Structure 1
Amino acid sequence: MDPRSEVLLRQAELFTGQVLLAGLPADDLLAALPDAIGWSWHAGEQATLQARFPERSRFGTTPPETPFETAVLFLPKSRELTDYLLQALAARLAGKSLYLVGEKRAGVERAAKQLATYGTPRKLDSARHCQLWQVQVEQAPAVPVLEDLAQRYELPLADGPLQVVTLPGVFSHGRLDAGSALLLEHLDDLPAGPLLDFGCGAGVLGAVLKRRYPASPLLMLDVDAFALASSRLTLAANGLDAELIAGDGIHAAPTGLAAIVSNPPFHQGVHTDYQASETLLRDAARFLRPGGELRLVANSFLKYPPLIEQHLGPCATLAERQGFRIYRARRSS
């Protein structure tokens, strides 16, 4: 059981009836609270919850329409995302209780101050290096429009400016990160055929790929519902189209790809996690057609070339700058 869930269950009498668990972990909490429903924006956790508790959790960027009498927010990493989620929940809870649970090292005490917008926050419990806070929603806000919270910027490129739209909680919100900037300079000569932007985030790489290779079908995959929503907005802002896939890793992608392009993710919550990236390197050959190519950017301290060469083929370093390297490898035909 996740320690945040354990803290919640220490006060189980507060969570009977119609409770919405927002951002819940994929553990046994729904079994312990049989009348609760979940709301997840993490595709992997949602898949686990759906398999174990069919129809009891929803995936997306807005709360489910199912009625609820109280809600618990499991603290996310981003303060901007926390603001949006609290507002979205408080808008449905006028005169009712809204709870916040999170790890101390994730900043739950700081985040609890954000509850003061809606009433007087109270700390109810502290255990397992976590805290549980509650607020009675006295000032219910208007329902937030997620797109109104987007940050937009223009990326100057050789073939014309690209409009980028990012939402709260999405990697590199409101700016282009150094790794992606380097990779954008090294997207030439990709094989013709279906292209996958793995870990698409705000959709910068995918949008550039679609504009540069318009005849190649584009797929964009991410574990996070807010990232997929950002990619959808970025594509629309540039008059482009792609197939968006919600999935926890490369195994959610189709086979027969001509190329996989990625600034692979390695953070999950407050923890550093390389699993999705390393699984991509180990299994990319299964999803690439013969002659298909993996091209990615990674921190130069990560020992990726031996892993790539073991599972895919010879790995070339195309560029290095600001602590990042561009790697290319092809599946043998």
Structure 2
Amino acid sequence: MSAQLPTCQLLERYYGQAARLWPVSPPDDTWLLNLSAAMVSDNVALREQWQTSARQAMSPFAPFDCLPDGQVVLFWPKAHQLGKWWLAWLCHVLPDDTPVDIVGEHQGGIKRVPKILDELGMACDKLDNARRCTLFATRTVNMAAPESAWQTFDALDMRLVSHPGVFGHGKVDEGTQLLLQALEKALPKKPLKVLDMGCGDGIISAWLAKRGHAVTAVDVSAFAAEACRRTLRENALEGRVLESDVYSALDGERFDVIVSNPPFHQERDISYGPSSRLIDQAVEHLQAKGQLWLVANAFLPYPERLQRALGEFETLSDNRRFRVYRAVN
């Protein structure tokens, strides 16, 4: 089987079919899975996919107690600060002078990597380039645990903690503000069991917990889940935070309200997969008369999906850029 994605095609060209790789923050490519014994990713959905194929898959926030069995390859993310975090993490958990290769697309900013490596005091050699991608080689140096990427900021009378790569990093996006305004007006004031789907840095979870609701927050990203935990702690609030591929970690649990500002981008691509499952499976996780609240860009095709999954729904807010929808089970 050949590689499907440009970065993996470059790796296939350089390493060949006999390679043994140890990818970090990898994309979803079967060729890569077949040539790797283990990987590290913040994405719980991808980790579960690899584990189903009998591969070791680790979260960067889990205790690290193994050495790479293969060539370490970091897939460079579009958020450069996140890439620097991954480099610092690798330098912290791996022995000094461990070879690390870095691959990425030109439009994703891989050409900035030599400068970043120089700033970190790390070597840099260019190995290959093709498919509008480049492959660099470096070696780890001694570094402390990467804590500097975490950013704390104040918004809506709360202290929020964010991390590069988490949705809305360092700010409150317009859609979330519109959703919270609508919730303030129309959400019942009595304590409710609420699910925050795609919690990001935890702003919605903290806002709900501050008003006395019992909050469960889930996100597919370990960075987002950790950011949400830190946000709740910063505000002395209670809440359960889980890594989950949409509803995968909830085992049929039901809620009075499901609230979400669902993502529709995967890197630079548009993907409706998670948001579609969020809507289609909501009836299985809502109590009778339970409510599903969504905020979304006005152009996204969610009304038709809400109609099919839950029947009637209403638009509570519309500022021409974003809309807030509510449907009742």
Q: TM-score range by the shorter chain?
A: 0.7 to 0.9
Aligned length: 318
| Letter of the 2:267 counterpart | G
d(CA) in 1 for partners of 2:18, 2:155: 47
Contact 1:100 1:112 (8 Å CA) reproduced: no
Which TM-score applies when normalising by structure 2? Answer: 0.88
- Cα pair distance change 1:251/1:136, threshold 3 Å: closer
Q: Which residue identity is paired with 2:206?
A: A
Q: CA deviation at 1:62?
A: 6.5
Alpha-carbon distance in 2 for matches of 1:259, 1:5? 41
Aligned-partner Cα distance in 2 for 1:96–1:245: 32
The correspondence for 2:257, drawn from 245, 256, 259, is: 259
Superposed CA deviations along residues 157-205 of structure 1, whole A, max 9, x for unmatched, are xxxx211111121111111111111111111424854210000000000
Q: Distance in 2 between matches of 1:119 and 1:162?
A: 38
Q: For 2:324 and 2:170, how far apart are their aligned partners in 1?
A: 23
Question: 1:200·1:206 contact (CA, 8 Å) conserved in 2?
Answer: yes
Counterparts of 1:97 and 1:15 in 2: how far apart (Å)? 18
CA drift of 1:63 comes to 8.0
Report the counterpart of residue 206 of structure 1 in structure 2.
205
State the shift of 1:304 in Å: 1.5
2:47 is matched with 46
* Structure 1 residues 88-135: Cα deviation after superposition (integer angstroms, max 9, x where no partner): 213435333221111222222223432223334222122333221112
Question: Partners of 2:102 and 2:62 in 1: how far apart?
Answer: 17
2:171 pairs with 1:169: no
Pair 1:5–1:78, CA change in 2 (3 A): same
Give the secondary-structure state (helix, strand or coil) at the position aligned to 1:186. Answer: helix
Using the TM superposition, give the Cα deviation of residue 9 of structure 1 relative to its aligned residue in structure 2, in angstroms. 3.2
Pairwise CA distance, 1:241:
1.8
Aligned to 2:105: 103
The 5 A counterparts of 1:88-127 are: 88-91=89-92, 92-116=94-118, 117-127=120-130
User: What's the C-alpha RMSD, in Å, of the aligned pairs?
Assistant: 2.4
Letter in 2 for 1:176: V
Once residues 93 and 284 of structure 1 are traced to their aligned partners in structure 2, the CA distance between those partners, rounded to angstroms, is 46
Q: Secondary structure at the match of 1:181?
A: helix
The answer on 1:183 being equivalent to 2:179 is yes
Partner Cα separation in structure 2 for residue 62 and residue 285 of structure 1: 33
Superposed CA deviations along residues 290-320 of structure 1, whole A, max 9, x for unmatched, are 1000111111111221221121121211112
| Contact 2:81/2:149, CA 8 A, preserved across alignment | no
Question: Does the residue aligned with 1:245 lie in a helix, a strand or coil?
Answer: strand
Q: Percent same amino acid at aligned positions?
A: 31
Q: Is the 8 A contact 2:88 2:146 kept in 1?
A: no
Q: Residues 292 and 326 of structure 2 are in contact (CA less than 8 Å); yes or no, is this contact kept in structure 1?
A: yes
Structure 2 equivalent of residue 66 of structure 1: 66
Alpha-carbon deviation of 1:43?
0.8
Whole-Å separation in 1 of the counterparts to 2:134 and 2:101: 10
Instruction: Name the SS for the 1:185 alignment partner.
Output: helix
Equivalent position to 2:313, from 309, 312, 315: 315
- Matching residue of 2:328: 330
Native 8 Å contact 1:192 1:258 kept in 2: no
Separation in 1, partners of 2:229, 2:317: 30
CA contact (8 A) 1:72 1:99 kept: yes
Matches within 5 A, 1:13-32: 20-26=22-28, 27-32=30-35
Unaligned 5+ segments in structure 1 are none
Partner of 1:9: 12
Q: Give the whole-Å Cα distance in 2 for the aligned partners of 1:104 and 1:265.
A: 24
Structure 1 outlier segments of 4+, above 4 Å: 13-17
What corresponds to 1:57 in structure 2? 57
The 8 Å contact of residues 62 and 88 in structure 1, kept in 2 or not, is answered as no
1:250 aligns with 2:252: no
Give the conservation status (yes or no) of the 8 Å contact 1:167–1:230. yes
The one-letter amino acid paired with 1:310 is: R
CA distance in 2, matches of 1:32, 1:251: 27
AA paired with 1:184? L
Go from structure 1 to structure 2 and tell me whether the alpha carbon gap of 1:15 and 1:220 turns closer, same or farther (over 3 Å shift): farther
Moved more, 45-54 or 116-125: 116-125
Distance 2:79 2:18 in 1: 25
Aligned 8 A contact 2:24 2:74 in 1: yes
User: Is the 1:118–1:136 contact (alpha carbons within 8 Å) kept by the matching residues of 2?
Assistant: no
